[in-house]
Amino acid sequence: MPTDPPIERRSHIRGLVLKEATIDSGDVSINCLVCNQHAHGAELRVKADIAIPDRFVLHVPVDRTSYRAVVRWRRKERLGVQLDSGRQS
């Protein structure tokens, strides 16, 4: 029997991307991978045992852009963040 596809609950569909990025908060810098992204949010992958602050600046070198980010959910090595539309330089 065919199964129905999962229901999409996001208000904005995220496009699949694979971008290296850096989480910066104070004097802490953590490497991560942006797995999907849209104008208002993204899913990041980080090592599961690393403590990530609730608010940080996300630097995405390939886009030459930095965003203010707020963590909205956490699941092991996955992290959902809201991106501030006012980009940092």
* CATH number for the domain that contains residue 24: 2.40.10.220
Is 37 within the bounds of a domain?
Answer: yes
Q: Which tokens go with 72? A: 């909205």
pLDDT at 72: 96
Q: What is the count of structural domains for the chain?
A: 1
8 Å CB contact between 21 and 59 = yes
Range of the domain at 66: 15-83
Residue 6 lies in a domain: no
Residue 55: inside a domain: yes
Q: Do the domain assignments include residue 5?
A: no
Is residue 1 domain-resident? no
Q: What is the chain's pLDDT, residue by residue, as a tens digit (89 residues)?
A: 556 555 545 454 555 679 999 999 988 899 999 999 988 899 999 998 899 999 999 999 999 999 999 999 999 999 999 998 655 55
> Does residue 9 form part of some domain?
no
Separation of alpha carbons 70 and 79, rounded Å: 10
